[in-house]
Amino acid sequence: MRDQPITSAPPPIYIVSGSIGASGEQLVRTALAQFPESRVSVITVGHVRHIEQIKDAVTQAAATGGIIVHTLVESPLRGTLVQLAQQQGVAAIDIMGPLLSRLTETLGQDPVGHPGLYRQLHQLYFERVTAIEFSLAHDDGQRSEDWPLADMVLAGVSRVGKTPLSVYLSVLGWKVANAPLVLGVAPPSDLLRLDRQRVIGLTIEPGQLLVHRQRRQRRLGAPGPSAYTDPDTVLKELEAAREMFRRGGFSVIDVTDKPIETSAEEIIELITRRTGTDE
């Protein structure tokens, strides 16, 4: 019987950047997607401003047999990295240098050499992307340990509109989490520990909630009576939620017969007034 070959993990790839390294990491991961069986570690070394940081990154890459991919726009740092990598036998791939050189020649201008300049010029866009990613990752009670990082947390029973409101608000730049409330189940303990000024309770007229739930039940292919669409149970759920809002000292928004834009405006006004936050 032959011995099984011993496999080792491939060497890591180090992204060295004067900013957060997002562009370099995206390019590397796009390339790695062409090798789906590989398990390459991607390590970002961001906010590089000093030669000592360059030395540390090259030394670490040399010790692990890794590859360096760098997006440095400051010529002295880029030159130092290339030199040190050559001295220590580290493969270093320069993404930004050749492009900057060609643009300098073509445009007849020197680059300003400010790391993170693109991100600074497009900060609003990146903030909105961050808010959207946060809200999607914290939908329906997920990652409650991160709720203190949210600009607001929406709470309410099923089908009251938490998710669409969260997504809409995130597109406007607000980091939103939402927490489901279930009859007979204690509310999330993390919710009650939050700054109550950032928690918004959502409520709705029972008849309208019943219609929303019946519609969802039909879409799921489960028509017929159930506790989910029982009028008495729906009423009890809403009453229990309102009682919880009262105990928590949370503000309440009634979304009955309101377009999502109107409810979002009310929430933003409330949060802004109570916390002094203005997105």
**DSSP one-letter string for 20-89:** --HHHHHHHHHHHTT-TT----EEEE----SHHHHHHHHHHHHHHT-EEEE---SHHHHHHHHHHHHHTT
Mean per-residue pLDDT for 30-50?
89
Q: What architecture (CATH level 2) is domain 13-117?
A: 3-Layer(aba) Sandwich (3.40)
pLDDT attached to residue 3: 45
pLDDT attached to residue 112: 58
d(CA 36, CA 40): 10
Least confident of 177-181, 213-217, 234-238, 275-279: 275-279
- Average pLDDT of the chain to the nearest whole number: 87
Highest mean pLDDT out of 193-197, 200-204, 258-262, 268-272: 200-204
- 123-275 CATH: 3.40.50
Give the CA dihedral 261, 265, 268, 274, nearest 10 degrees. Answer: -150
The first and second tokens of residue 114, run together, are 């400010």
State the span(s) of the chain assigned CATH 3.40.50. Answer: 13-117, 123-275
pLDDT in tens, 206-236: 999 999 999 888 888 876 778 888 999 999 9
Please tell me the pTM assigned to this model: 0.59
pLDDT attached to residue 114: 55
More confidently predicted of 108 and 239? 239
Residue 125 — very low, low, confident or very high, per pLDDT cuts 50/70/90? low
